Amino acid sequence: MHSSKAATLRRQRFDQYVGVYHQDMYRYAAWLSRDKTIAEDVVQEALLRAWKSLDALRDETSAKQWLLTIVRRENARYFERKRLETVDIDNLTASQAALLAVEDDKELDDMRQAIYELEDDYREPLVLQVLMGFSTNEIAEQMELKQGAVLTRLHRARAKLAVKMER
């Protein structure tokens, strides 16, 4: 009876995190992998891993960073054997193109494509800062970089996007 109650509480805790952070997990995975289908798979694997190691999460306030770290690792595992650093923007698979799909908004379309074309090193800190609201310190921790390197990448990422959007 006692262990059943503990299991129920554990599941409730898990569902609560998933409810709050699922969107962040998916968007992070999507922009890391640049593929909607792969993002769904990565999130599935990440949820499974999070469920198994939920008891390791002691600090409730770091749940978001914990989940995104799991997503990052699952994405790395996914691409461990075949990393596609370059993507031919004119020859995307349906699942890749789905990430860029917008409706009647050229400016949004252009910006999404420009972000899509950014190198991983520049795109990821941008996603963590703009979408996830991470500080540069938190990004450095997440990406295992020095803060100076994060600042440089963010500065260069915006410079690249600004140039692309001026064309």
| Site of interaction with another protein (CB under 8 A) | 2-3, 5-7, 9-11, 14, 18, 22-23, 26-27, 30-31, 36-38, 40-41, 44-45, 47-48, 51-52, 78-82, 84, 93-95, 99, 107-108, 111-112, 115, 126-127, 129-131, 136, 150-152, 154-155, 158-159, 161-162, 165
What's the closest the beta carbon of residue 43 comes to another protein, in angstroms? 9
What's the closest the beta carbon of residue 161 comes to another protein, in angstroms? 7
Name the residue nearer to another protein (CB basis): 62 or 83.
Answer: 83
Name the residue nearer to another protein (CB basis): 62 or 131.
Answer: 131
What's the closest the beta carbon of residue 158 comes to another protein, in angstroms? 5
What's the closest the beta carbon of residue 61 comes to another protein, in angstroms? 18
d(CA 26, CA 103) in angstroms, rounded, equals 21
Name the residue nearer to another protein (CB basis): 66 or 122.
Answer: 122
Residue 112: count of CB within 10 angstroms of its CB: 15
The string of DSSP letters for 117-156 reads HS-HHHHHHHIIIIIT---HHHHHHHHT--HHHHHHHHHH
**CB pairs under 8 A, 24+ apart, for 48-55?**
49/74, 50/14, 50/17, 51/14, 54/10, 54/13, 54/14, 55/10
